[in-house]
Amino acid sequence: MEDLIKEYSLGYTMIWDAIEGLTEEELRYKPAPNKWSIHQILIHVTDSEISAIPRLKKVLAEEEPILVSFDQDAWANTLSYDLLDREQYLHLFKLLRTSMQPILDNLTSEQSRRVGIYIDQERFTFKQLLEFRVQHVRDHLDQIERVKNSYREKQPN
């Protein structure tokens, strides 16, 4: 659990390292019409964190709470991600992760086994939900690398 909490705490730094030095053109580049730009990925990662923090807290504070996800494509397609301030969202992501740190630093093994239930009746422990948060950042870091590579491949030599 200690390694998981440590990686969770590094999420912002990992994202920042992945985008540091990119131009606005690189950040806004879409590898295909139906694919997200790095800018959109960053907004999504923060929106996902906004949605996840209450779920994590519910599992710790309530007895087998019902958990609700959000429709990421609906959010991305209707909330004008291209118009949102990326720096504000990155700052918000950092604040959200930082706000969870005291809770995670004092987490007991009993708390890590607490359960939340999604509407489809699938049950997840707090530890599993935290693993999803860490994996979510990993997956989007991979996606950012793919977009960066696609951008570079499209550039004339």
| Cβ-based neighbour number of residue 125 at 10 Å | 15
Q: Which CATH architecture has domain 2-154?
A: Up-down Bundle (1.20)
Whole-number Cα distances in Å, 69 to 83, 89, 134: 24, 20, 17
Sign of the CA dihedral 85, 82, 50, 151? negative
Q: Express each pLDDT in 91-136 by its tens digit.
A: 999 999 999 999 999 999 999 999 999 987 799 999 999 999 999 9
pLDDT over 90 at 154, yes or no: no
pLDDT at 132: 96
pTM of the model: 0.93
Residue 117 in contact with residue 74, Cβ under 8 Å? no
pLDDT tens digits, residue range 58-103?
999 999 999 998 888 899 889 999 999 999 999 999 999 999 999 9
Residue 145 Cα distances to 14, 34, 94, angstroms: 12, 17, 21
